[in-house]
Structure 1
Amino acid sequence: MKASDLFVKALEAEGVEYLFAIPGEENLDLLESLRHSQIRLIVTRHEQGAGFMAATYGRLTGKAGVCLATLGPGATNLVTAAAYAQLAAMPMVMITGQKPIKSSKQGQFQIIDVVDMMRPLTKFTRQIVSGDSIPSRIREAFRLAQEERPGATHLELPEDIAREDSNMSVLHPSMARRPTAEDKAVHAAAEAIRHARRPLLLVGAGANRKLTCKMLRQFIDKLGIPVVTTQMGKGVIDETDPHFIGNTALSDGDFVHRAIHAADLIINLGHDVVEKPPFFMRPGGPKVVHINFNSAQVDPVYFPQIEVVGDIANSLWQLKESLDVQSHWDFSDFQRIRDALITHIAEDADSDSFPIKPQRLVRDVRRVMPENGIIALDNGMYKIWFARNYPAYLPNTVLLDNALASMGAGLPSAMAARLVYPDRPVMAICGDGGFMMNSQELETAVRLKLDLVVLILRDDGYGMIKWKQAQMKFDDYGLDFGNPDFVAYARAYGAHGHRVNRTDELVPLIEQSIAAGGVHVIDVPVDYRDNDRILNNEIRERSQAL
């Protein structure tokens, strides 16, 4: 068959549902083959949006999301999305076109070495040089994208190769099981936990990828060990659970860090080095048990004494079966810290001042969104407030990026979440800076007839950097900008535009938008003036007093 037809059949064999794309002329044979496929082509308005959507699809399903671009500028526009998926361990396969490689007569027009460009950003990158190699190349790209640690892979399909004939058949995915941890390692970890006085669970991104929540729930229910999560571990445990202390939204100094310092043993579950370290190991400090799919990457501040390497859920099950509650365990300090954090989070959550305060904003969004509702956060000051103050009830209901931390990902990520979960309310939460980086995808959302609410938190500046500027005692300089009329902007795309003029308008406006369906953009002026006072000075003073 024609090589492009074989390529599409290989994608179908991998279970591909969507292909997020901006095709170019070098992709036209592949595009024609897709026309006869059950794979749904989602044409976006920027390659970066296509990449963010593919990566988020991978994050939510565990199956590699797929995006397509042409050569040259189309391929370079995928670079940020490649880094986004690779750093955050989201399975994604990128496909780019290329000029003919056997008889090209166009010189170097638009040609760069895309394979070499993608090499440091991916787990696997290859140019396909023969139609007969398509099945094995695609199988390998998907296998590597999806196995632990997941990430981005890339295939380049030149247009003359796409037109070749091939007699090869597709390769279907093989059945694979992740290895389990060695008994001796599990025994050593169980002994350390048994003899600790103040053991503490710390759940990171790796534990969120494979949905270990069921086994974690059983482990906590049986043993009662308190738990803290990183930002990308958020939602693995129901955060209304009395054993949940808090989220490490800040780098240091928050109440949860007092809990970490109080522990004499940290059970570090799913640790991922891309996240800011929630604690630094030091000689004479708490012992650390590393439980993960892979062994620890040792550095000057992370050198665990015990490593349990294998399937995380199975390791938890083995530990649960090996342990019982110990009478000498003392969790009183953790409970006191949890109570203090809950009290602090509740402050100003009822404030009617306008522009809206972050504490009230977070509370109101949580009040409106159901348990299984999904919020997709772009990157900005509000990400800290939501990570810290917004209780997640289920895994992957708070989509945030604490790896590449790229602006512009919030809206495309929310769109992908809505495609994966068409029956669940989805909300994109973006700063005005991040929203404008991929705001053109509003047209894509409207064209796809998605039901989606987009909150634009407007402070007319790059708020996160302004906060850091204030921390360093620099003058306020160079970080302010103007904005369009977001209501008119939304309506120009065929979406519904709204503006909040009083704090008490937000909840009914979100409720009405969800009920009405369609794409709704809500302009919400936000007041970040208390960031430095609350997130730096006040938290440190109160937590250190515990």
Structure 2
Amino acid sequence: MTDKKRGSQALIQSMINQQIKYVFGIPGAKVDQLFEDLQYSDQPEAPKLIVTRHEQNAAFIAAGIGRLTGKPGVVATTSGPGVSNLVTALMTATAEGDPVIGLGGQVPRDDLARLTHQSIPSKELMSVATKSSVEVQDPENLSEVFTNAYNTAISGKPGASFISLPADVLSGEVTRPEMRPLQPAEPAQTATKTLDKVIKMLQHAKLPVILAGMRASSEGVTNALHQLLAKVSLPVVETYQGAGVISHEFEKNYFGRVGLFRNQIGDTLLKQSDLVIAIGYDPVEYEARNWNVEHNDQIINIDAIAPELTVDYQPNVVIESDIAGTLSALTDALPEDYRLAQSAVDQLAKLREEFDGQSDVEINAKPGTMHPLDIVNTLQKKVDDDTTVTVDIGSHYIWMARHFRIYKPRHLLFSNGMQTLGVSLPWAIAAKLTRPNEKVISVSGDGGFLFSGQELETAVRLKLNIVQLIWNDGYYDMVKFQEEAKYGKNAGVKFGPVDYVKYAESFGAKGLRATNADELATALDQAQKEAGPVIIDIPVDYSDNIELKSALLKDILN
């Protein structure tokens, strides 16, 4: 006898088969059958339903799950505005390589062509924000569509998939069996001839450098990179999403991060190098026109996907293969006696001295406020290698990206492709769900925090000990200081004050305030002892933001 079930039940079983642990979202009439069946499922493996306070934040959390685990998070919303509120988050995930699946309720199939309540062309709307967008027309296809959405989200450059679910499809009858768990694809191998060419280029290069991008930050690729560095000591520059690929063991190989303003040690090294080995590099992080200005470098592109070619990025060798496998094969093939030339060692030592001194600036802040470096340095002392730090967009993001160190990949999270405000707290929720026994710290400005601050209630409800730092100055300061640099004045960047200690308390969270390093250190210690989330309000003095644009090339100020 064939088992009969509802479409929503078949969809849930398909999630179970692909080991989906959570579904985040907000209910509504067009998707309530799915929410009912999730809430009252008698299957212990069924995903846990977590209701949020905004659809965009639900998708940010799901995308955070995707970035941290490499497996898609899932977000489910109702039709109309429920779906349209997903656009920014799914667009961000697609740009920044985070696998996520969006499930959007839709009007019944016979209403699709009518101007009826909450009827919008969801599939078409999402086609520009995702890797794939499909509307299910038959309940029997639900499992196949979901499994293909999952596969699309993780394949090539990861990103978002969207499924539009008419209400009568979710409630319709299904007899077809669900798809089995996906099997991982066999990694492609790099040809020996290609590896020989790479080795010859390395041997002839005067100053080779590795540019480690977003797809270098998976555990497998990072481990393979470490094996390479153990055999030959090459300098490494991280992109913001490549943060943490250099561990303590290879500290001497680390020459900073690039991702904004083209005035860092890493930019200098990329400019001086005659061979750039780009590993998992994605131009959305930092376009080649910013770091390959003179067009005189040789470039080797090692990635799982084909590179985007531009006038500024025309690699001499393109390896489109399993990245970890390629690095391991290269390590094995490199001659045992290969070393950097002494001239390169001396050049790197000079750069190292300059790099190590870039934080040695006099720290002065107005009374009752903290200097950005004082905040960064205090926080640095209070984290361990397993701490996850999520960072929103604002002036704080630049200070953190330049000066805060992390030694494990995907433990310092930035939105550098879209620079989307509001990601930090949702990503922190994702991190605490994924890494419940580790510290999680979210860093926001007072502007970006209120884009998603309502999810503090979600964190309270889930009893998640997330520490939320708010760098508070009363401006959209990242825009403010750039406007002042360009025009001599600012416009449209000031807003009114909020008492974030009272804000935290009104949600049932703990609220603290710190105005100097000692107070911040004490607050961080206290916050880790709380059962739930803690907000630490930090009045910040951004007077030294001019240091962020020092030696800035005028074509990059934007």
TM over 0.5: yes
Partner of 2:435: 421
Indicate how the Cα distance of structure 1 residues 33 and 194 shifts in structure 2: closer, same or farther if over 3 A, else same: same
Equivalent of 2:226 in 217, 222, 227? 217
Q: Which residue of 1 aligns with 2:301?
A: 290
Question: Hey, what's the Cα distance between the residues in 1 that align with 2:212 and 2:164?
Answer: 37
Correspondence for 2:106 among 90, 93, 98: 98
Aligned residue identity for 1:272: D
Structure 2 residue 202 is the aligned partner of structure 1 residue 193:
yes
Q: CA deviation at 1:183?
A: 2.4
Deviation per residue, 1:92-136 (Å, 9 max, x gap): 000011111136798422111010000011111111110111111
1:141 to 2:141 alignment: no
Q: How much is the aligned-residue C-alpha RMSD, in angstroms?
A: 1.9
Q: Give per-residue Cα distances to partners, 1:455-480, cap 9 Å, x unaligned.
A: 01001000000111122033133211
Q: Does 1:266 align with 2:266?
A: no
Give 1:280 shift. 4.1
Are the counterparts in 2 of residues 62 and 210 from structure 1 also a CA contact under 8 Å? no
Kept after mapping to 2: 8 A contact 1:189/1:289? yes
* Helix, strand or coil at the partner of 2:61: helix
**Of 242, 256, 261, which aligns to 2:266?**
256
Residue 302 of structure 2 contacts residue 323 of structure 2 at CA under 8 Å; is this kept in 1? yes
Return the match for 2:322 from 286, 296, 311. Answer: 311
Show the counterpart of 2:126: 118
1:484 CA drift (Å): 1.7
Match of 1:242 among 252, 255, 275: 252
Partner of 1:454, secondary structure, is strand
- Tell me, what secondary structure is at the counterpart of 2:339? coil
Answer yes or no: is the 8 Å Cα contact 1:185–1:307 preserved in 2.
Answer: no
Question: Quick one: which amino acid aligns to residue 176 of structure 1?
Answer: A
The separation in 1 between residues aligned to 2:524 and 2:548, in whole angstroms, is 27
Match of 1:39 among 14, 28, 47: 47
**CA–CA separation in structure 1 for the residues paired with 2:81 and 2:530:** 39
| Alignment partner, residue 482 of structure 1 | 496
Residue of structure 2 in register with 1:75 after alignment? 83
Residue 263 of structure 1, CA deviation: 1.0
Q: Which amino acid aligns with 1:439?
A: G
Is the contact between residue 180 and residue 309 of structure 1 (CA under 8 Å) also seen in structure 2?
A: no
In structure 2, the partner of 1:537 is 550
Cα displacement string for residues 306-340 of structure 1 (whole angstroms, at most 9, x for unaligned residues)? 11220111111111112132363622212211221
Task: State the Cα distance separating 1:350 from its structure 2 match.
Answer: 9.2
Amino acid at match of 1:251: F
Alignment of 1:155-234 (within 5 A): 155-172=163-180, 173-209=182-218, 211-234=220-243
Which of 404, 416, 430 in structure 1 is aligned with 2:444? 430
Residue 543 of structure 1 is matched in structure 2 by none
Contact 1:348 1:360 (C-alpha < 8 Å) held by counterparts: no
Partner of 1:337: 351
> Cα distance 1:165–1:221, how it changes in 2: closer, same or farther (>3 A)?
same
1:48-96: CA deviation from partner (whole Å, max 9, x where unpaired) = 1100000000000111000000000000100011111100010000001
The count of aligned residue pairs is 539
Is residue 2:24 matched to residue 1:20?
yes
Distance, in Å, in 2 between the alignment partners of 1:115 and 1:104 is 11
Give, in angstroms, the shift of residue 251 of structure 1: 2.5
For residues 362 and 22 of structure 2, the distance between their equivalents in structure 1, rounded to whole angstroms, comes to 43
**Aligned partners of 1:65 and 1:93: how far apart in 2?**
6
Return the offset for 1:346: 3.3
1:222-276 deviations in Å (ceiling 9; x for gaps): 1001111111111011267111111114331222222112211111111102112
Q: 1:266-415 alignment to 2 at 5 Å? A: 266-277=276-287, 279-281=290-292, 285-324=296-335, 325-326=338-339, 328=341, 330-348=344-362, 354-415=368-429
TM-score (norm 2): 0.93
Pick closer, same or farther for the CA change 1:348–1:68 going to 2, 3 Å.
Answer: farther
SS of residue paired to 2:50: strand
Shift of 1:420: 0.2
Residues 341-367 of structure 1 deviation map (CA, whole Å, 9 limit, x = unaligned): 211213346989641111111111111
Deviations 1:2-36 (A, max 9, x none): 21111111111111100001011111211222120
Structure 1 stretch 144-153 or stretch 275-284: which is displaced more? 275-284
Partner of 2:34: 30
Letter in 1 for 2:242: G
Contact 1:256 1:337 in 2 (8 A): no
Q: Distance between the aligned counterparts of 2:361 and 2:437, measured in 1?
A: 34
SS in structure 2 of the partner of residue 376 of structure 1: strand
Supply the AA of the counterpart residue of 2:299. Answer: V
Are 1:414 and 1:428, in contact at CA under 8 Å, matched by a contact in 2? yes
Percent identity (aligned) = 30
Deviations 1:354-396 (A, max 9, x none): 4111111111111101111011001111111111101111111
* TM-score, normalisation: structure 1: 0.95
| Displacement after TM superposition at 1:213 (Å) | 1.2
Distance 1:210 1:86, change over 3 A: farther
In structure 1, the residue matched to 2:530 is 516
Summarize the Cα distance change of 1:290–1:2 in structure 2 as closer, same or farther, 3 Å threshold.
same
On the 8 A contact 1:470/1:476 being kept in 2, the answer is yes
Encode CA deviations 1:141-175: one digit per residue, 9 max, x unaligned.
00000112100000111111112111111112134
8 A contact 2:270–2:291 mirrored in 1? no
Moved more, 167-176 or 98-107: 98-107
Q: Give unmatched runs, 5+ long, in structure 1.
A: 541-546
| Structure 1 equivalent of residue 556 of structure 2 | none
- Which amino acid in the other structure matches residue 473 of structure 1? Y
Distance (Å, rounded) in 2 between the aligned partners of 1:210 and 1:85: 19
Partner SS, residue 23 of structure 2:
strand
Could you tell me how far apart the structure 1 residues matched to 2:532 and 2:260 are? 35
CA contact (8 A) 1:349 1:363 kept: no
Tell me the distance in 1 between the aligned counterparts of 2:220 and 2:494: 41
